[in-house]
Structure 1
Amino acid sequence: MKAQRWMMKYVVLLWISNVMNLCGGFLREDFGNVLRQDVKSVSPTDSDVDEVIKYAQQYTRKRYPWSIPNEKIDPEITNLNKKLLIYSHDNRAPLYYDDEVTDRSGAMYGITRFITLGKIYDFSLTWKENMIKFCHSFTLSVSQKDQINIYVHTFYLRSLNNSNPNSGLEHYLFPKVGSSYFKYFANSEHSGQYSFSQEFSHLKMPEEKFQETFSKTSGAGPEVLEEKTISVGKDGSFKHLKVMSYNIWHMSSKSTRVGGYTERMARLKQAILKADADVIALQEVRYEEVKGENLGPCQIHMLSEWLPQYQYVFQPAQMQLNTPYEGRTEEGVAIMSKYPILSHDSLMLFINRSNSADTHQRVLLQADIFVPSVGMVHIFNTHLSLSHEAREKSVVQIWNRVNQVKGPAIVFGDLNAEPHEPAMQYLRGKAEFPGTERSGLIDVWSKKHPNDKGFTFNTLEKNLTKRIDYIFYRGDDQCCEIEDCYIPDDGGRSYNAASDHLPLMAVLSLKTKTLKPDAEPS
C-alpha cells in the first residue's frame, strides 16, 4: 500500500508538470507569496474568458452607461492575458501538501497537491461608433470559489476625427470632474506636451442634431451637459488638484463583535466622501475571503461602489500567510481618480525574508492620469516595510522610478518611518546613501507647515504620536505649488475611529499648458 501511495504521488507530480508546460512553462513570481503561470493560447471564445468579458460589459453598462456604445456593437478584444495563481511561502516554489483520495473500490492513495488561488484576467475592450473610440481596460480576479471581482477598471474616449492629421497628435475626450458625461476635448503627444481645445464640438450643434448623433451612443442627453466650456490653460497659470493619502486598516476592527467592521466602514466612507479628493491613494486594501460581513470580501469593490465617479487600480502586494488555512487573503494599495487613468504599472520593492521585521512584500503602484489643461500627471502610491533595511533600499527604488517619468509626479504613502529617520531624510532630499543620487522630492507637509508635527497615527490610542503618512511632489519646474495641506480629523478615537490612521490631504496647483495653434479645432 505504501508503495502504491508513492507511485500515485509520482504520477500526480508528473501530471502537474505536464499541465504547467501546457499552460505556459515555468512559474514566475507575481507578487508576495504568489507564483503565476501564464496560460498560452487564450481565446475570447474560451468559455471562462467569455464569461468574464460579459461580466465586465454588464458591469460597465450598469455603472457607466454613457461610456459604452450601442449594445448591438461588439467590442474588439485586445491585450488578453490569463494567469493562474499558485501559493508559495518563498516566491520560489509552490507550497505542496499531502492528501489522500479513495477510488471506487475503496482503496486509498496518497496524493500531492499545490494550493491554487484562482485566476487573473487582463483585457481591453474597444468600440468604435460615430468617429469615437471607446476604450476600457480591466483586470478581473476569479477566486477558487468562482467569485469575480474587478481589480482594475480604467477608460477613456478618443476622437477619430482629427482635424489636423499631420500634427501627430491623438485626440481624446475626457470628462469634467464630477460630471456624468465626457464633454471636453484634449490632444496629447507621447513627448509629454499637451494642448487643448476650448470646447467639445457637439456643444455647437443644434439640439436636434446632437440628439441624433449622440443619444444612440452614450445614453446621455443634453440635459446632463453644462453649457459652459473649459478654459484653455496659459503659461504661468495653474489648475488645482486635491489629493488624499489614507491607510484604511484593511479589515480590522477594534470591536470584536459582529457588525464592528461594518460600523467602522461607515465612518471610513463618510471621511472619504467628505474629503471629495480628485485623486485618492489608499494603503492596506484587502481581499479577504472569510471576512467583510455584509460588505463582502473585496474592499476595492466596496470602495468603487461608494465612489462611482472614480476609475481605479488595485495592486496586491502580498498573499497573507493565513491563506492556506483560512482562504485567499491579499493586501495591497490602490489609486482612485476622477480623471482618466491612461496607464498603470507596479514595482515590487526590496524584501529580506531572513529579517523578522520584513515579512511582508511591498509594492509601488504607478497610475498615469490625464488632467485637462495640465496633461499627464504621474501618481505613485506605496506602503513601506517595518524593516529599516527594507525602507532604505525601497526609497532608492522609488526615487529611481519617479525620476524616469516626464511631467508632474506625486508620491503618496504610509512609509512606516518618521521624518528624522534615514529613509525619510533620503526621500526628502536631506541626505544621500552611498552610491545613490539625491532625491528631488519635496515633503508637502513639512514645506507647508515646517513647525507642525503633523501626526496621523495612532487613532486607536488617546493621543496621536507619529507622522508616518506622506505626500511628496517632485520639485522641479514641471510641477507644483502647494495651496494647502491638512489632516482631516473627526475626533474619532479607539472604538470610534474610522481607521488607525488619519487621512492626509493636499491641494496642489499644477502648471497648465498653452494651446498650440496647430492643434486648434477647425
Structure 2
Amino acid sequence: VSADLDNKADFHPAAQTIHPVCYNIWNFNDKWEQRAQMIVSNLLQENPDFVVFQEVRYNVIDEYSFKQMGKPHRNRFQTDELRKHFLELSDTQWQFHYEPAMSYLDRFHTDEGLAIFSKFPILECSHLLLSRDLDDTEDAHQRIILRTVLDTPIGRVNVFNTHFALTEDARRRAVVELWDWIQQFPLPHILMGDLNAEPDDIAIEFLVGKTELEGRTADFVDAYTLASEAEELTFPAWEPIKRIDFVLLRGFQSVSEYSLLGKTSVPNPSPVEEDKQLWSSDHFGVSCIVGIE
C-alpha cells in the first residue's frame, strides 16, 4: 500500500545531511490509540525527514470484535491512526508505503509488516522475502526487507527497513540474503530496523564487516559507532538492557545528533493499571542525522 497524504511531499533542504528515524511501534499492544498519539508527538518533536516502522498491522479482527463488544471504533490499519494524528497535530505532509510481511488467516485476517513515512518523494518500492525454517518455532513469522528509493536533497537514497527473526540461524541466513540482494542498488544505503540482535551477534558482526559468512563480507557502518556520547540501549523501554535497533550506513561519512525517542512514559489511563506507566512502544526509536562529505 502506498499513499501520498496530501498529494505532495513537504521537506526542508539540508545541504549534505538527511535525518532518518527507526521505530518499532509494538503493533496493537497496550493502549494502542494512546500510544499512537505519543509516537506521533515524539516524531513531530524530533522532526525527521523520514521514519521506518516495524510491527505495523492491518487488523480486521480487532475492528470487528471491538464493534461487537460496543467498544470505541478502532482503525484496522495502524498507518491510518498515525496519519490521523499527524494531520491533527501538524500541517507537515508525508508520503508513505506499507508492505505486509506475515498474514494470519482466520475468520478474517491480520497482516503485520513494515512501513515508511517520508517528507521526501518516494520514487520506487520493492521488497525481498527472507527464507524461513518452519521447523523452527521462532522462525515461523515471515520476514521481509522493504526497500524504498527517496528523492532527497543529497540525491537518491536507497532505504532498507527490516525486522529480523528471534533465532540466530534465521538471522544468519537473512543477512546473507540481504547482502546479496542489495548489491544491485546504487549507494548510498541506509539499513534500519529491529534486528533482534545485539552488536556482538554474528549477524550484526557480518553486516559491519567484522566476520565472514558463506564467503561474503559486508561493509555497513553502525551509526552508533560514529556518534559521540550516544545513548545506547533500546529495549525494553521500561527497563532497557540491550541495543537491538540499528541504523547502518553505506556511503555516508558522518553521524550527528544520535538519540533515542520515547524515553518518557505517562501514567497508564486504565484504572486497573494505574500504578503502571505507559510507553510509546516497547522499543525506543533511534534518530540521527547522517551526512555525505
TM-score by length of 2: 0.85
Q: Is the 8 A contact 1:154 1:342 kept in 2?
A: no
Cα deviation for residue 154 of structure 1 reads 5.1
Q: Give the 3 Å change call, closer, same or farther, for CA 425–262 of structure 1 in structure 2.
A: same
Looking at structure 1, the residues matched to 175 and 17 of structure 2 have their Cα atoms a distance apart, in angstroms, of 27
Summarize the alignment of residues 319-468 of structure 1 with structure 2, pairs less than 5 Å apart.
Answer: 319-320=103-104, 323-325=105-107, 327-372=108-153, 374-435=154-215, 437-449=216-228, 454-459=232-237, 461=238, 463-468=239-244
Q: Report what 1:282 is aligned to.
A: 53
Cα deviation for residue 262 of structure 1 reads 2.0
Letter in 1 for 2:111: E
Looking at structure 1, the residues matched to 10 and 292 of structure 2 have their Cα atoms a distance apart, in angstroms, of 17
Q: Report what 1:47 is aligned to.
A: none
Work out whether 1:240 is the aligned partner of 2:21: no
Q: Report what 2:248 is aligned to.
A: 472
Cα deviation for residue 400 of structure 1 reads 2.0
Cα deviation for residue 333 of structure 1 reads 0.4
Q: Report what 2:98 is aligned to.
A: 314
Looking at structure 1, the residues matched to 173 and 162 of structure 2 have their Cα atoms a distance apart, in angstroms, of 14
Work out whether 1:152 is the aligned partner of 2:18: no
Q: Give the 3 Å change call, closer, same or farther, for CA 307–264 of structure 1 in structure 2.
A: closer
Q: Give the 3 Å change call, closer, same or farther, for CA 404–484 of structure 1 in structure 2.
A: farther
Letter in 1 for 2:261: P
Looking at structure 2, the residues matched to 510 and 356 of structure 1 have their Cα atoms a distance apart, in angstroms, of 42
Looking at structure 2, the residues matched to 415 and 502 of structure 1 have their Cα atoms a distance apart, in angstroms, of 13
Letter in 1 for 2:232: G
Q: Give the 3 Å change call, closer, same or farther, for CA 498–489 of structure 1 in structure 2.
A: closer
Cα deviation for residue 371 of structure 1 reads 1.0
Q: Give the 3 Å change call, closer, same or farther, for CA 397–489 of structure 1 in structure 2.
A: same
SS at match of 2:175: helix
Q: Report what 1:297 is aligned to.
A: 76
Cα deviation for residue 155 of structure 1 reads 10
Looking at structure 2, the residues matched to 359 and 470 of structure 1 have their Cα atoms a distance apart, in angstroms, of 23
SS at match of 1:487: strand
Q: Give the 3 Å change call, closer, same or farther, for CA 297–489 of structure 1 in structure 2.
A: closer
Looking at structure 1, the residues matched to 264 and 86 of structure 2 have their Cα atoms a distance apart, in angstroms, of 24
Cα deviation for residue 303 of structure 1 reads 2.1
Q: Give the 3 Å change call, closer, same or farther, for CA 156–343 of structure 1 in structure 2.
A: farther
Q: Give the 3 Å change call, closer, same or farther, for CA 481–453 of structure 1 in structure 2.
A: closer
Q: Report what 2:284 is aligned to.
A: 502
Looking at structure 2, the residues matched to 273 and 156 of structure 1 have their Cα atoms a distance apart, in angstroms, of 17
Cα deviation for residue 509 of structure 1 reads 1.6
Q: Report what 2:272 is aligned to.
A: none
Structure 2's unaligned 5+ residue stretches are 64-71, 88-92, 267-275
SS at match of 1:357: helix
SS at match of 1:291: helix
What is the count of residue pairs matched by the alignment?
271
Q: Give the 3 Å change call, closer, same or farther, for CA 424–337 of structure 1 in structure 2.
A: same
Q: Give the 3 Å change call, closer, same or farther, for CA 265–433 of structure 1 in structure 2.
A: same
Looking at structure 1, the residues matched to 4 and 149 of structure 2 have their Cα atoms a distance apart, in angstroms, of 11
Looking at structure 2, the residues matched to 270 and 489 of structure 1 have their Cα atoms a distance apart, in angstroms, of 9
Looking at structure 1, the residues matched to 6 and 210 of structure 2 have their Cα atoms a distance apart, in angstroms, of 39
Structure 1's unaligned 5+ residue stretches are 1-150, 158-173, 179-229, 232-237, 254-259, 512-522
Q: Give the 3 Å change call, closer, same or farther, for CA 310–303 of structure 1 in structure 2.
A: same
Q: Give the 3 Å change call, closer, same or farther, for CA 274–324 of structure 1 in structure 2.
A: same
Q: Deviations over 1:290-314 (max 9, x none)?
A: 3265341101122233345111110
With CA pairs under 8 Å and 6+ residues apart, which has the higher RCO, 1 or 2? 2
Summarize the alignment of residues 30-45 of structure 1 with structure 2, pairs less than 5 Å apart.
Answer: none
SS at match of 1:504: strand
Q: Is the 8 A contact 1:311 1:336 kept in 2?
A: yes
Q: Is the 8 A contact 1:155 1:342 kept in 2?
A: no
Letter in 2 for 1:510: I
Q: Is the 8 A contact 1:241 1:510 kept in 2?
A: no
Looking at structure 2, the residues matched to 307 and 377 of structure 1 have their Cα atoms a distance apart, in angstroms, of 24
Looking at structure 1, the residues matched to 32 and 206 of structure 2 have their Cα atoms a distance apart, in angstroms, of 37
Looking at structure 2, the residues matched to 488 and 281 of structure 1 have their Cα atoms a distance apart, in angstroms, of 13
Looking at structure 2, the residues matched to 156 and 491 of structure 1 have their Cα atoms a distance apart, in angstroms, of 31
Work out whether 1:490 is the aligned partner of 2:271: no
Work out whether 1:268 is the aligned partner of 2:39: yes
Looking at structure 1, the residues matched to 181 and 117 of structure 2 have their Cα atoms a distance apart, in angstroms, of 20
Q: Deviations over 1:362-391 (max 9, x none)?
A: 01000001113x221111000000111110
Q: Report what 1:517 is aligned to.
A: none
Q: Is the 8 A contact 1:392 1:422 kept in 2?
A: yes
